[in-house]
């Protein structure tokens, strides 16, 4: 069964159409109006072997906050829907990704208990026009709506672009592992009998 979902979100601040396929080929078609976020989502998709289509329009004349936040919300909602009852998945994922001098780690539990643990200190407050504090905002909304435990640790680095890029690549790879089907798992990967 294809694990796929789509969502449309329209507010006074944003208008977003997003389609997400878990079992993809790393194909993306992304227009966010926030160039750095478009780049990060493209990396996430490629390294997770997902398929992702995003058409987002937002009040970027104010700043990138609303658009970035709402994309995180939409991505989380589609992931949660696409996984259904999570039968047969590995549930946990872990990935270390180096990017030149930076090293990021992302650990995921698709637990139905939303939590973000974020340990990263960026040397710069901006990458281009993008506010680096929005990385936390995006990840928190993604974790919240996907109802997953998400731990992000940047162990070291001094180039902010490299540090954030390593996070998004690791996010894709860890999520790919957590969502992958374990042929040994015959039901729900929890002693509770549900996630």
Q: What count of Cα atoms within 13 Å lies in the side-chain half-sphere of residue 70?
A: 26
Neighbour-count burial of 40, counting CB atoms closer than 10 A to its CB (0-12 exposed, 13-18 middle, 19+ buried): buried
Position 72 scores a pLDDT of 98
Distance from C-alpha of 171 to C-alpha of 166, rounded to nearest angstrom: 8
What number of other Cβ atoms are within 10 A of residue 27's Cβ? 13
Q: Is the pTM of this model over 0.75?
A: yes
Position 75 scores a pLDDT of 98
- Taking only the tens place, the pLDDT of each residue in 148-172 is 999 999 999 999 999 999 999 999 9
113-124 burial code (b ≥16 CB/10 A, e <16): ebebeeebebee
The 3-state DSSP class for residue 157 equals coil
Residue that is written with structure tokens 């504090």 in the block? 133
Strands (DSSP E) along 59-148, which ranges? 92-99, 102-109, 115-119, 126-127, 130-131
Residue that is written with structure tokens 């009998």 in the block? 193
**Residues present in the chain in total:** 195
Position 194 scores a pLDDT of 87
Position 33 scores a pLDDT of 97
Contact at 8 Å (CB) between 121 and 133? no
Low-confidence ranges of the chain (pLDDT < 70): 1
**H or E segment to which residue 158 belongs:** none
């Amino acid at each position: 069964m294809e694990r796929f979902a789509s969502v449309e979100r329209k507010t006074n601040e944003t208008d977003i159409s997003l389609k997400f396929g878990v079992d993809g080929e790393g194909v993306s078609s992304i227009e966010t109006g926030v160039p750095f976020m478009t780049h990060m989502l493209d990396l996430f998709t490629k390294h997770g072997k997902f398929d992702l289509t995003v058409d987002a329009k937002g009040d970027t004349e104010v700043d990138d906050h609303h658009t970035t936040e709402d994309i995180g919300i939409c991505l989380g909602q589609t992931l949660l829907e696409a996984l259904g009852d999570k039968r047969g998945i590995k549930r946990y994922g872990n990935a270390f990704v180096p990017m030149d001098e930076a090293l990021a780690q992302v650990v995921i539990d698709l637990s139905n208990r939303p939590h973000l643990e974020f340990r990263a200190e960026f040397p710069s407050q901006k990458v281009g026009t993008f506010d680096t504090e929005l990385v936390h905002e995006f990840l928190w909304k993604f974790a919240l709506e996907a109802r997953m435990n998400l731990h992000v640790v940047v162990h070291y680095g001094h180039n902010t672009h490299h540090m954030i890029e390593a996070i998004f690549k690791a996010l894709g790879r860890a999520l790919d592992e957590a969502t992958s089907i374990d042929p040994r798992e015959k039901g729900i990967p929890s002693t509770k009998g549900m996630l």
